[in-house]
Amino acid sequence: MKKIRIIILMLTIIIFATSCTSNPKDNYITRSNLELDTLVTITVYNTNDQTILDDIFNILSDITKKFSTDLNDSEISKINSLDKDIPLKISDEMNTVIERGLYYSKLSNGLFDISIEPLVKLWGIGSEHYKVPSQSEIKKALSNIDFNNIELKKNIITKKDTSTKIDLGGIAKGYAADEIVKYLKEKGYTKAMINLGGNVYALGEKSENTLWNIGIQNPFKDTGEYIGIVSVKDKTIVSSGINQRFFIKDGKRYHHILSPFDGYPIDNNLMSVAIIGESSIDADALSTITFEYGLEKGLDFINNLENTEAIFITKNKEVYLTTNLYNNHKFTLTDSTYKIMNK
């Protein structure tokens, strides 16, 4: 039997902050921990109050307990165990995320589908039970995927089919980042760097009239090597790519971005897509959708959205930027083996 090699980048950061500290004299607090199946690092500036980090990680812990499909007593697991036509009252947090997930499921005509859990579980990418499923197994899983079987009205969820199961992994980290930003603003903090395993939120400015520089990960290299830098303030940057979670069998890479249409990992010329926007939950969904769309359709899609930009990296090391990002010169290429293709 041929050896199966698995490479799971659960704790790596596809996008990482470069030069996060503003000034050596700045006072700040920082903490890293595992939450939402990834490494989370939070840095808050102009404070020494560690209770701020305690509160933030309590927020993350509560979100994990609600949204993790690995916990039998989580709120999402209770939804997934529901029989059809049985209404269930859900929390405001769950209602917010499912509602946004359904919005993007409809917007993408099902290419992004929150009922993809049967397929995610079948492949097991990122777990100890990864495998290449048989065609019959994939066909069965696909028959249970249809976001239209989910009804949501005023915190009441009902499923039309008992087999319908939800996986919010495509947007839960984005929601968590937004909740942290909301908490910090309510407490009066205006400068922070939030990194949820690649879902980055740069709150405020690096220093007065100076933007944060965020490195865009080189998808062909180990974490810590980047192809360029994007300069932002009060923005989130979220990436989807085939280098984040995957396994290799018989020389072929199987990554975690699965098509709810044919049941296999998306196969196009993209290595990764980074979305730059104001809402992390939206950027989370958009990064997946645009990756699945592919280069041409993805670029056109993002160019028609307000306050949203994107960086596309192809398998032949070409970089494509959305029009405003290119024209505003907010992205600087630092790796000479790549080429910006905008004209």
For residues 58 and 64, the answer to whether their CB atoms sit within 8 Å is no
What 8-state DSSP symbol labels residue 318? Answer: E
DSSP 250-314: TTEEEES-B-TTTSSB--SSEEEEEEEES-HHHHHHHHHHHHHH-HHHHHHHHHTSTT-EEEEEE
What pLDDT shows up at residue 219? 92
Per-residue confidence (pLDDT) for residue 325, from 0 to 100: 97
Q: What does the pLDDT read at residue 24?
A: 52
Beta strands in 36-108 (DSSP E): 38-45, 88-89
- For 203, which DSSP code? E
Q: What is the strand order of the sheet 318-321 is part of?
A: 28-35, 38-45, 192-196, 199-203, 235-241, 270-277, 309-314, 318-321, 339-340
On whether the CB atoms of residues 171 and 147 are closer than 8 A, the answer is: no
The pLDDT of residue 12: 36
- Numbered residues of the known binding site for Mg(2+): 170, 284, 288
Nearest residue to 171 via CA among 80, 235, 97: 97
- In sequence order, what are the residues at sequence separation of 6 or more whose Cβ sits closer than 8 angstroms to the Cβ of residue 13? 39, 195, 197, 198, 217, 223
Q: Name the binding residues.
A: 170, 284, 288
Residue 75 has a pLDDT of 98
| Cα gap 234→126, rounded to integer Å | 31
HEC sequence for 239-259: EEECCCEEEEECCEEEECCEC
Q: What is the pLDDT of residue 271?
A: 96
From first to last of its 343 residues, the chain has per-residue pLDDT tens of 333 333 333 333 334 444 444 555 579 999 999 999 899 999 999 999 999 999 999 999 999 999 999 999 999 999 999 999 999 999 999 999 999 999 999 999 999 999 999 999 999 998 889 999 999 999 999 999 999 999 999 999 999 999 999 999 989 999 999 999 999 999 999 999 999 987 999 999 999 889 999 999 999 987 779 999 999 999 999 999 988 888 999 999 999 999 999 999 999 999 999 999 999 999 999 999 999 999 999 999 999 999 999 999 999 999 999 999 999 989 999 999 999 999 6
Q: What angle do CA 152, 158, 159 make, to 5 degrees?
A: 115
**Residue 147 near residue 76, CB atoms below 8 Å:** no
Per-residue CA distances from 295 to 6, 116, 271, 340 (Å):
27, 23, 10, 14
Query: What pLDDT was estimated at residue 268?
Result: 96
Q: Which helix (H) or strand (E) holds 338?
A: none
pTM of model > 0.85: yes
Q: Which domains does the chain have, with CATH numbers?
A: 5-62+171-340 (3.10.520.10), 68-159 (1.10.3980.10)
Q: Please tell me the predicted confidence (pLDDT) of residue 4.
A: 38
